[in-house]
């Protein structure tokens, strides 16, 4: 590696920047001093932040906050399912007449009217907000 060549390359690229900073300082001395002070203050704040973040405070252990078990934990049994309960089933394409008679109940006129009224209320609520 050619350190002298690298140094010359860096110097070549940085010298116009330094020249611009000097020109700015000559034209605006007060503004340059304010900017330099703010940059110094920012660097000081960063150094303080790093110094304070590096210190770790150990929190004291409060008596009674550590859980000490006297016996081993036991997982309780889950709820028991009824004898004829089926968790899943394979659906059939069609029900037989016996199954349909067993599970299907014909709704009464009162239930039909109640469902109709609930549907009408829902429709009125939806269309009532429409312009």
For 14-73, write each residue's pLDDT tens digit: 888 888 888 888 898 999 999 999 999 999 999 999 888 876 677 777 777 777 888 888
Rg of the chain on CA atoms, in Å: 41
* Per-residue confidence (pLDDT) for residue 60, from 0 to 100: 76
Overall average pLDDT of the 84-90 stretch: 78
**How many Cβ atoms from other residues are within 10 Å of residue 113's Cβ?**
11
* Per-residue confidence (pLDDT) for residue 120, from 0 to 100: 93
Give the alpha-carbon dihedral of 81, 87, 92, 98, to 10 degrees: 10
Is 131's pLDDT higher than 70? no
CA distance 102 to 104: 6
pTM exceeding the 0.75 threshold for the entire prediction: no
Cβ density class 9-43: b for 16+ within 10 Å, e for less:
eeeeeeeeeeeeeeeeeeeeeeeeeeeeeeeeeee
Q: Which of 31, 49, 29, 30 is nearest to 41 (CA)?
A: 49
User: Between these two residues, 82 and 125, which has the higher pLDDT value?
Assistant: 125
């Amino acid at each position: 590696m050619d350190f002298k060549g690298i140094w010359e390359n860096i110097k070549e690229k940085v010298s116009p920047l330094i020249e611009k900073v000097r020109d700015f300082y000559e034209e605006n001395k007060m503004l340059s001093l304010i900017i330099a002070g703010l940059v110094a203050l920012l660097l000081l704040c960063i150094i303080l932040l790093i110094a304070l973040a590096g210190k770790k405070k150990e929190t004291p252990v409060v008596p009674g906050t550590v859980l000490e078990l006297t016996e081993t934990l036991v997982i309780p049994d889950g709820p028991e399912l009824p004898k004829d309960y089926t968790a899943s089933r394979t659906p059939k394409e069609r029900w037989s007449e016996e199954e349909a008679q067993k599970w299907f109940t014909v709704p009464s006129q009162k239930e039909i009217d109640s469902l109709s009224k609930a549907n009408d209320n829902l429709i009125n609520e939806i269309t009532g907000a429409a312009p």
